[in-house]
Amino acid sequence: MLQNLVFDPYEYDESRALLNNVLSDPDRNFFNDINSGNKSRYVCESEIHSFSTDGSFSVMHINCRSLLHKCTQLCTLLNRAAVSVIAVTETWLNKSTADSLHIPGYSFVACCRKDKLGGGVGFLVANGINYKIIDIPLQINSDVIECLFIDILLDGKHVLMGAIYRPPNNKIEDFSDELEKILTCNVLQKYKRMFLAGDFNIDLLKFDSHQPTRQFFDLLASHYLLPTICRPTRITETSATLIDNIFTNVYSDCEKSGIICSDLSDHLPIIISCYLNTKVTKTKTKHVYRRCYSPDAIKNFKDMLTEVDWQDIVVYGKDKDVIKYQ
């Protein structure tokens, strides 16, 4: 009997069992919902101002391929929107060049390669946002993964931000192993709000056909980290791959996401806007007023009347007699 039960989630036939009904698959329905609506769409640079509306928290990622030579273009891009945090990968900086970098309106923190050129990750944090670098107490293989984590304080709530870059010349399995060590570290486990932005060099469009990619996706999903970008971020004449992303465990708070059509790099910048609900709304006490007709209240009211000077108030009766109030 089991030999006759063929499970194919992509084939739908009303006569078959519900086990084979693609319409009842919650995972497919969820990702169909992700791909619909206003999320993860391509936007022009002139449209990104809508991602930094009042009260929203915005995150951008840029694979810049030499940040020092892209400062002018980056400043022009950021002048269009007040982005809260920008994660940058492939900065190609060293310690001296990183210290000299200045983007107006932002603080810059970086993790550079020490013994070779290229790579490097960092953050641009908007002035006025408090943050600190998180020290990961692990021996991390920088040949497999480059990362930097910061703690951002928003309205008294701590938010974890991670900038991640995977050098392409290594196995995805090794990268996933290193990332799992980091995500299960006690230092990061306490965060209820997390964003991982970066160039993972793993094409999520192949997650259903490439086993290492699927394992990478399952790893993040096991930590409730879901992708906010679902369309290609690196497009050439011969290929279109989804290798840049912003993963978060507060997906329901993300209002919208976009892929910015910009020639700043060979990777398209990505951006998300979300409301983290970090502000606690205090319930106002509602006062209900009513008249009190108790004997004490009536007596107090009469006493108050006797203390009033009524000389300027004269009321005449029917026969023009002065009416005296008792």
Q: Is 312 helix (H, G, I), strand (E, B) or coil?
A: coil
Strands 57-63 and 194-199: unpaired
Q: Residue-wise pLDDT tens for the chain (326 aa)?
A: 334 444 444 444 555 444 555 555 555 555 555 544 456 899 999 999 989 877 789 999 999 999 999 999 999 999 999 899 999 999 999 988 999 899 999 999 999 998 888 999 999 999 999 999 999 999 999 999 999 999 999 888 999 999 999 999 899 999 999 999 999 999 998 999 999 999 999 999 998 999 999 999 999 999 999 999 999 999 999 999 999 999 999 998 998 999 999 999 999 999 999 987 544 344 444 555 567 778 887 888 788 878 777 666 655 555 555 555 44
Q: Report, in angstroms and rounded to the nearest whole number, the Rg of the chain calculated over CA atoms.
A: 31
According to CATH, the superfamily of the domain at 30-274 is Endonuclease/exonuclease/phosphatase (3.60.10.10)
What beta strand segments (E) does 134-189 contain? 146-154, 157-165
Q: What is the residue whose two structure tokens read 């008294």?
A: 156
Beta-bridged to residue 225, according to DSSP, are none
